[in-house]
Amino acid sequence: NAGVTQTPKFRVLKTGQSMTLLCAQDMNHEYMYWYRQDPGMGLRLIHYSVGEGTTAKGEVPDGYNVSRLKKQNFLLGLESAAPSQTSVYFCASRTTVRSSYEQYFGPGTRLTVT
Amino acid sequence: KQEVTQIPAALSVPEGENLVLNCSFTDSAIYNLQWFRQDPGKGLTSLLLIQSSQREQTSGRLNASLDKSSGRSTLYIAASQPGDSATYLCAVRPRGGATNKLIFGTGTLLAVQP
């Protein structure tokens, strides 16, 4: 049981380049989330999904797109990277079982946009 | 708008001390509050989750309390050890609006000196 995994762990992009971050979970969780973590600002929600084929905007969605084609995977895309998107990105998932609302986090992807 | 604050931002204690970390939130309309631990360069590990109807949760040397009416939670760590050194984050899941998100504080960086 690997929990929540993220690829890649590190990436450096030039302004204007595109990339996709992959999140995978093997816990059969319905809900998945993408957050970014910036110094002094805490974690902020980018997009989330409540099930396969669904996505919704979070707090800071601009410049990002997401897809949830399979229940176990949640992809975060940057179509045209900007230096303001330099951050650490975390994926999380949780079950819908009422007794357990904990979110489980991946190890993060450190992205630098130059 | 829900805001979560953690004070102090950093704390250094000698090994063996009992300590308290504080978390405050501005809106008492929450489903639950969750405490996380984050090690440098790593993801978040869930420590304790307190439902809005609960007053406290315990796990080993950790005890988290919740006073929803005053908008406060504390994380008590007994007999601290150098291995407890990490950043501790609290997050609330608000009621109403987009409930599928957590609002995070900016964390308390704890250093336990041997």
Is the CB of A103 inside 8 Å of chain B's CB atoms? Answer: yes
In sequence order, what are the residues at sequence separation of 6 or more whose Cβ sits closer than 8 angstroms to the Cβ of residue A30? Answer: A50, A51, A71, A94, A95, A96
pLDDT value of residue B94: 87
Q: How far is A97 from chain B (nearest CA, A)?
A: 14
Query: Cβ(B107)–Cβ(B5) under 8 Å?
Result: no
Q: How far is B2 from chain A (nearest CA, A)?
A: 12
pLDDT value of residue A100: 57
Q: What is the DSSP letter of A13?
A: E
pLDDT in tens, A53-97: 999 999 899 999 999 999 999 999 999 999 999 999 999 998 877
Is the CB of A27 inside 8 Å of chain B's CB atoms? Answer: no
| Calpha distance A56→A46 (Å, rounded) | 9
Q: Which residues of A15-29 are buried (b: 16+ CB within 10 A; e: fewer)?
A: eeeeeebebbbeeeb
A65, with CB counted inside 10 A (0-12, 13-18, 19+), is: middle
In sequence order, what are the residues at sequence separation of 6 or more whose Cβ sits closer than 8 angstroms to the Cβ of residue A37? Answer: A43, A44, A87, A88, A89, A90, A108
| Calpha distance A51→A72 (Å, rounded) | 10
In sequence order, what are the residues at sequence separation of 6 or more whose Cβ sits closer than 8 angstroms to the Cβ of residue B18? Answer: B76, B77, B78, B79, B80
Q: How far is A105 from chain B (nearest CA, A)?
A: 6
| Calpha distance A82→B88 (Å, rounded) | 30
pLDDT in tens, A22-52: 999 999 999 999 999 998 888 999 999 999 9
Among the partner-chain residues B46, B100, B101, the one whose CB lies closest to the CB of A102 is B46
CB within 8 Å: A42 and B43: no
Residue carrying structure tokens 């008492």 = B28
* B101, B103, B109, best to mutate vs chain A, most A CBs in 10 Å: B101
Give the count of Cβ contacts less than 8 A between chain A and B.
55
Is the CB of B36 inside 8 Å of chain A's CB atoms? Answer: yes
Mean per-residue pLDDT pooled into runs of 10, chain B (114 residues): 92 96 95 93 90 93 96 97 97 76 92 96
pLDDT value of residue A2: 76
| Calpha distance A39→B48 (Å, rounded) | 24
